[in-house]
Amino acid sequence: MRYSNLNFSWCTDIDDKGLTNLSKSLLKIPVLESLALDFSGDEKISYIGIHEISKNFKKMAELKAITLHFYEISKISDKALKCLAQSLEGLTTLERLDLQVEYENVGNFTNIGLDHILEILKKLSGLKELILNFQGCSQITDIGFNKIRESLNSLPNLEVLDLDFTRCSQKTGPELGNMEEEITKEFVSLKDVNIKLSKCGNFGEPELFITSWILNRATHLQKFHLDYQKCGWMTDSGLQSLGQSFKKLTCLQTIKLDFSECRNRVRDEGLQSIGENIQDLISLQDISLNFTHCHNITSVGFNHITGSLKKLIGLKRLVLVFAACNLITDEGLENLRENTKMLTSLTSFSLNLNSCYKISDLGLENIGKCLKELYSLESIDLNCRQ
């Protein structure tokens, strides 16, 4: 057997003894390359059970992929992550690690537990795919997240990076120093980056700088998704840093940015940096930008974005969401037709200007002129309700 996918989610009678027996059984499998275990909602499991199930990982010499999901398990905490980290040491064949410890309310994990995982990553240089989901672990702070870059330096073969720290909202650390002075390596293999920091009300600019730090070294990146909604602690310099990091991503095909409900923190200057630095990325095929309820964006900022589209003739899908950006007027839509008429490959276009109450019939007329030029469109989604 090369693959074992065992889902015990919401099996509420499973306890530590059961995991001990399961661990012994797994050792009897002669060749195990991939192991997936889901214990979501199993309230009788403690760190003892986690220790029992994980202690034999290092004896599975052929193991290439590990998936561990723990959702809403109240009895496990940092000690369990320490056990997991110790069990991963020496797994030189490991190529994929998917660790998810998600909570709806307040999780038990802190920076200490996260640090155990990040430290062991430094010894797993063969990893090609890394997924870390600590959604709802609100005791994890910006200090914990900011240490991620130290571990990434030790993963030269990484191809996929997926980080989810949604609702990890505590801010306790000082401002970051100059990360450019650190000894770093290029992430030449990294193709796909997905970072979710939504609803982290106290996260902000330092986390954007770390995201930029990753992008600046991932020169062969093809897909990038950043979810930053409802993260209020940032300024234009954070967005400008992010925008500047796009310039070298000449292989980028997909970019998705969500800054919805960042309220007054996103302004035209930030959008200018994004627009200026994606305009020459001719490999782009899919752009999705969401700035809902970013109240300081004006027609100038909207034009910075649409003006960047002129050269992106390979674009197939475009999503622009500026709902409730009340400073966008008819003037912002005057150049929409001119900025998009060269998008001859565009098959899907979505434009959301819901509750932009300064847009009148004249603005809608400009949208109509734009659509007439886009002959290849197969799907149109317009929302301009007042």
Task: Render pLDDT for 16-44 as a digit per residue (tens, 0 to 9).
Answer: 898 899 888 888 887 888 888 888 777 78
Of 81, 20, 16, 24, which Cα lies nearest the Cα of 43?
16
What is the rounded CA–CA span in Å between residue 50 and residue 79? 9
> Reduced to 3 states, what is the DSSP secondary structure of residue 37?
strand
Task: Reply yes or no on whether the pLDDT at 168 is more than 60.
Answer: yes
pLDDT for the residue numbered 204: 59
- pTM higher than the cut 0.85: yes
Neighbouring-strand partners of residue 256 = 225, 288
Domains 1-93+102-122 and 94-101+123-383 share a fold: yes
Task: Please tell me the least confidently modeled range out of 101-115, 173-187, 285-299.
Answer: 173-187
Task: Reply yes or no on whether the pLDDT at 174 is more than 60.
Answer: no
What is the rounded CA–CA span in Å between residue 251 and residue 262? 29
**CATH 3.80.10.10 applies to domain 1-93+102-122:** yes
**Domain segments of the chain as ranges:** 1-93+102-122, 94-101+123-383
Region label for 29, one of left (φ > 0), alpha (ψ between -120 and 50) or beta (otherwise): beta
Task: Reply yes or no on whether the pLDDT at 358 is more than 70.
Answer: yes
What is the rounded CA–CA span in Å between residue 246 and residue 282? 12
What is the rounded CA–CA span in Å between residue 82 and residue 40? 19
What mean pLDDT value characterizes the chain?
Answer: 88
The CATH H-level superfamily of 94-101+123-383 is: Ribonuclease Inhibitor (3.80.10.10)
Task: Reply yes or no on whether the pLDDT at 93 is more than 70.
Answer: yes
Task: Reply yes or no on whether the pLDDT at 73 is more than 70.
Answer: yes
The dihedral formed by the CA atoms of 9, 11, 15 and 17, expressed in degrees to the nearest 10: -90
pLDDT classification of 173: cutoffs 50, 70, 90: low
What is the rounded CA–CA span in Å between residue 67 and residue 84? 12
